[in-house]
Amino acid sequence: MSKNTEQNTEKVQKFEYKAEMKQLLNIIIHSLYTHPEIFLRELISNSSDALNKIRYRALTDKNIIDPESELKISINFDKKSNVLSIEDTGIGMTEDDLINNLGTVARSGTLEFLKGIKDGKESVSEHIIGKFGVGFYSVFMVADEVSVETRYAEKDSKGYLWKSNGEGSYTVEEIDRKERGTKIHFNFKDSAKEFASEDRIKGIVTKYSNFADFPIFLGKEKINTVEALWRKNESEIEEKELNEFYKFITNDYEDPLAHVHLSVESTKANFKALIFIPKSAPYDFMRNQNVKALHLYSNRILIQRDCNDLLPEYLSFVKGVVDTSDLPLNVSREVTQSSNVMSEIRSVLTQKILIMLQRLANKENEKYLHFFKNFGPLFKTGVNHDFSNRDKIIELLRFESSSLKEGEFTSLKEYVSRMKGEQKEIYYISGDSRSIIDRNPNLEYFKKKGIEVLFLIDPIDVLIIPSVPEYDKKPIKSIEKADIDLMPEDKIDKPEDNLSKDLLSLFKSVLKDKVADVVPSKRLVESAVTLVSGKDSMDPQMEKLMKIMNKGMPLPPNVKILEVNTSHPLIGNLSKMYIADSSNPLLEKSILQLFESALLLEGNLPSNADFINRMIDLMKEATK
């Protein structure tokens, strides 16, 4: 931001917005028109933050302006002059605050996101905008020019007036202001005339800000509830109130998917909590997992917004409030992090949330699946990170499978209940999508036998499942590994004829160190060959993931075992060809082509060109 040296008067300083800020303002003002009414929610939320800050500070510091003044938000609308003002007795802003806080965009990624909306890349559905606070600047949706009068709470502070038309620049000047806090005022612009009435303003406040921590007055009337909903008895809380409260703390437009109301009294910690699970995951969910909107209160007083320490990261989609009487009010972040009370709350809260999810899964499966589809990728990581609750999280995992229709899910428990008598192991296969998995030759045997195989389609699955060696005493195994325990009737080795033995040796001498071994297959039905991993090597999906994580750096080669279906007609033909003329060049070509087809199927073919040239040669022969 650059200070303009050619000022109109001595005292008024003029500042230019940075180019990025100008773009952002332009988008907010001209493209976000779906919900201009949220300007009021944003301003009240800023006032409420400022009031929380002064309340917190006043606990230890009485040397502030107006230490006894009531903590409140006053809204006034003057019909005649068409002026709306919102004033708080919060902490106020210094001159630097005004320049730094009202001149820049706080949230990183804001601009990209808003540009995405403008260019039609992000869909402008109500709830995206709702979740996405546009902050103070949303006021320019309803006003052409905005004034902010403010005075910081310290005794030697001065008053300032900030003014801007939200286009290119703003001004700051010193003013005479006695009271601590901030007052924002403006005229409604013509396109926002619909808001210019007390009834409408009251409606908006109660819709979005009913549960603010401080009283909100419109004229002389107090118009919000100011009650700690979580302190009421469960039976006294109406669903409507719960939903409103949830929307208030999250800015979500949708009702929550589920909630739990807790009142915990133990020797280690006492607390009440109102906890929610949202319906949909935010657009940047897996990139940005900081806990948002899980607030920590001490005896009804907010002591930490967005408190990361209340829950493990894998549950960071959870919203709500936790209120305890066991933490001192003026406790610092570091103290809360290391306190026993805090770790007790965290542990109890985690368990209660897992119980709630399990209950949801038992009683309202559809809702649970909705949750799992939205938050599963993060939630699953708990298997690797929360050892004490690992078993409970494993019960809550869901997978698609070969016995279910696309889009249907099973738990491990349900899988086990469907296992046939002789089946001793739980099987899975991983892949990018159901249709790719369905075509994998390694699935053929299991399909023929009607043995269910779990489909690991979410990329996170291959990081989770290999660390769960068994469930209900049954080993969990990838069907792409060599050591699967086949059904008893298939264990008896077929007497191997010399013919196919010789052919397999030829495979080995052609493929050399490209394969770890070449063996007759027990699992193939329709395909001629397939690749499987040795029992201690990586499965293909894991390998792919490692490649991505290694950012293209070469990995040690993961050499596989080639299984050959000796009853396949093509293999039969090759045997005959081998007997007739063991040096026929078509033999080598066919073997290489078979091997590379298997590589192609698992997405590991090194050179398309070689593969295609060889295919054309073979076609030439076949069409001779």
Q: How far is the CB of 98 from ligand ADP (least distance, A)?
A: 8
Q: Which CB sits closer to ligand ADP, 90 or 130?
A: 90
Q: How far is the CB of 136 from ligand ADP (least distance, A)?
A: 3
Q: Is 74 in the site for ligand ADP (CB under 6 A)?
A: no
Q: How far is the CB of 542 from ligand ADP (least distance, A)?
A: 41
DSSP assignment of 545-586 equals HHHHHTTTPPPPP--EEEEE-TTSHHHHHHHHHHHH-TT-HH
Secondary element (H or E) of residue 188: strand 181-188
The only residue of 25, 27, 64, 102 in contact with ligand ADP, by rule CB under 6 A = 102
Question: Of 364, 378, 217, which is closest to residue 285 (Cα–Cα)?
Answer: 378
> What is the distance between the alpha carbons of residues 38 and 220, in angstroms, rounded to a whole number?
23
Query: Among the candidate windows 41-49, 306-314, 354-362, 432-440, which touches ligand ADP by CB under 6 A?
Result: 41-49
Q: Which CB sits closer to ligand ADP, 136 or 372?
A: 136
Q: Is 93 in the site for ligand ADP (CB under 6 A)?
A: yes
# binding residues, ligand ADP (CB under 6 A): 16
The only residue of 36, 135, 256, 441 in contact with ligand ADP, by rule CB under 6 A = 135
Query: Among the candidate windows 43-51, 166-174, 438-446, 455-463, which touches ligand ADP by CB under 6 A?
Result: 43-51
Question: Of 458, 471, 488, which is closest to residue 414 (Cα–Cα)?
Answer: 471
Which residues are registered as beta bridge partners of 237?
Answer: none
Query: Among the candidate windows 45-53, 75-83, 267-275, 325-333, which touches ligand ADP by CB under 6 A?
Result: 45-53
The only residue of 23, 101, 169, 289 in contact with ligand ADP, by rule CB under 6 A = 101
Measured at CB, which residue is nearest to ligand ADP? 135
The only residue of 24, 29, 32, 50 in contact with ligand ADP, by rule CB under 6 A = 50
Q: How far is the CB of 165 from ligand ADP (least distance, A)?
A: 17
Strands 258-265 and 169-175, sheet pairing: unpaired
Q: How far is the CB of 283 from ligand ADP (least distance, A)?
A: 17
Q: Which amino acid belongs to residue 495?
A: P
Secondary element (H or E) of residue 130: helix 126-131
Q: Is 478 in the site for ligand ADP (CB under 6 A)?
A: no
Q: Is 309 in the site for ligand ADP (CB under 6 A)?
A: no
533 DSSP assignment = B
Query: Among the candidate windows 131-139, 245-253, 488-496, 576-584, which touches ligand ADP by CB under 6 A?
Result: 131-139
Here's the x/- map for ligand ADP, 161-190, by CB under 6 A: it reads as ---------------------x--------
> What is the distance between the alpha carbons of residues 351 and 345, in angstroms, rounded to a whole number?
10
Which residues are registered as beta bridge partners of 295?
Answer: 321
Torsion of CA 186, 192, 198, 199, to 10 degrees: -160
Cα atoms in the Cβ-side hemisphere of radius 13 Å centred on 125: 9
Q: Which residue has the tokens 């809360």?
A: 336
Q: Is 149 in the site for ligand ADP (CB under 6 A)?
A: no
Instruction: Count Cβ atoms within 10 A of the Cβ of residue 54 and give its class: 0-12 exposed, 13-18 middle, 19 or more buried.
Output: buried
Q: By the criterion CB under 6 A, which residues form the site for ligand ADP? A: 42, 46-47, 50, 88, 90-93, 101-102, 106, 133, 135-136, 182
